[in-house]
Chains A and B, each alone.
Chain A
Amino acid sequence: MDAKKVRKFVMQYAIYIVLVLLIVVIAAQNPEFLSINNLRNILIMSSTRIIIALGVGGILITQGTDLSAGRMVGLAAVLSASLMQTLEYSRRFYPDLPLVSIFVPIVLCILVGAIIGFFNGVVVSKLNVPPFIATLGMMVIVYGINSIYFSLPPNNSQPIGGLREDFTALGTGYIGPSGPYSIPYIVIIALAVTVLVWVLFNKTTIGKYLYAIGGNPQAAKVSGINVVGVLIFVYTFAGAMYGLAGLLEAARTGGATNNYGNMYELDAIAACVVGGVSTSGGIGTVPGMVAGVLIFSVINYGLTFIGVNPYWQQIVKGLIIVFAVAFDIAKYYVKK
Chain B
Amino acid sequence: MSGAARFEGNATCLGCGCACDDITVVINGGRITEARNACALGLRWFGDGSLPGAVLGGRSAAIEDVLGEIATMLRSARAPLVYLAPDLTSEAQRAAIAIADQLRAFLDGVTSSTAAEGILAAQRRGRASATLGEIRNRADVVVFWAVDPTLSYPRFQSRYAPNPVGVHLPNGRKDRTVIAVDVGSQRGPDDADMRVQMTAEEEPLFLSSLRASLAGRTVGDPPIVARVTELATRLNRAKYAVIVTDAESPPPVSNGRADSLIALTQSLNATTRGSLCTLRAGGNRNGADTTLTWQTGFPMAVDFSRGVPRYRPEDAALPRLARGAIDAALLVGAAAAIPATVTDALRGVPTIAIGPRASESAIDASIRIDTGVAGIHESGIAFRTDDLPLPLRALLPTPRDTASLLKALGAAIAAQRGSA
Do the two shown chains form a genuine complex with each other? no
